[in-house]
Amino acid sequence: MPWVGTHGSGRALLFGKRAQSMTELIRIKPHHFIDIVTAFGAGQTQFEPHPYGHAVHTVAARIADEPDVLLEMEFGADDICEPCVHNIDGLCDDTIDTSYRPDAPALKREWNLLLDNRWASQLGIEEGDRLTAREFCSRLRGAMAGITDVYREIPAERTALRAANLEKGIEKVLGTGAHPHSP
């Protein structure tokens, strides 16, 4: 069954106009959205609260249930970061595993910003831009050829798997695949 999303009392306005939602928008880093869509494509249907206290589980559920939700691009602390224990005055103090990506910066905030800037360039978006989850996925669909450039510090086989799952997740959000909450 195709994934059919609604929100509020009706659908968002698309086709060149910014979507207007009856509910609050989601402030999100581009790579956070892409990670969530990639998880949908990998078959993830449930997101559990994380020990760090971040809000991936609530944001992912909202995107799955409401694909026309309005997203605002944020390159700093977003709605996922806000409740995280590593969010110290708007800056992430966490580090990443550089064992398989030795050329990546060790500070997560630097790695995240690098990814967000690369995705923004690929997608033609800027911080503060607003678009629906479906609109974001439509742009992603057209920018998949550049994924190896975005993740150039990561081994090719990992990026290939990410790309395959991202493509599946895009189809789910756009309504051509199974709903992310479906088995």
26-38 pLDDT, tens digit each: 999 999 999 999 9
pLDDT value of residue 10: 30
- Rounded to an integer, what distance in angstroms lies between the CA atom of residue 136 and that of residue 118? 15
pLDDT value of residue 115: 98
115-124 pLDDT, tens digit each: 999 999 999 9
User: Model confidence at 11, in pLDDT bands (50, 70, 90)?
Assistant: very low
Is residue 141 pLDDT above 90, yes or no? yes
Query: Cα–Cα distances in Å, from 163 out to 19, 39, 78, 125?
Result: 27, 11, 24, 20
pLDDT value of residue 160: 97
How many CB atoms are located within 10 Å of the residue 102 CB?
8
89-109 pLDDT, tens digit each: 999 999 999 999 999 999 999
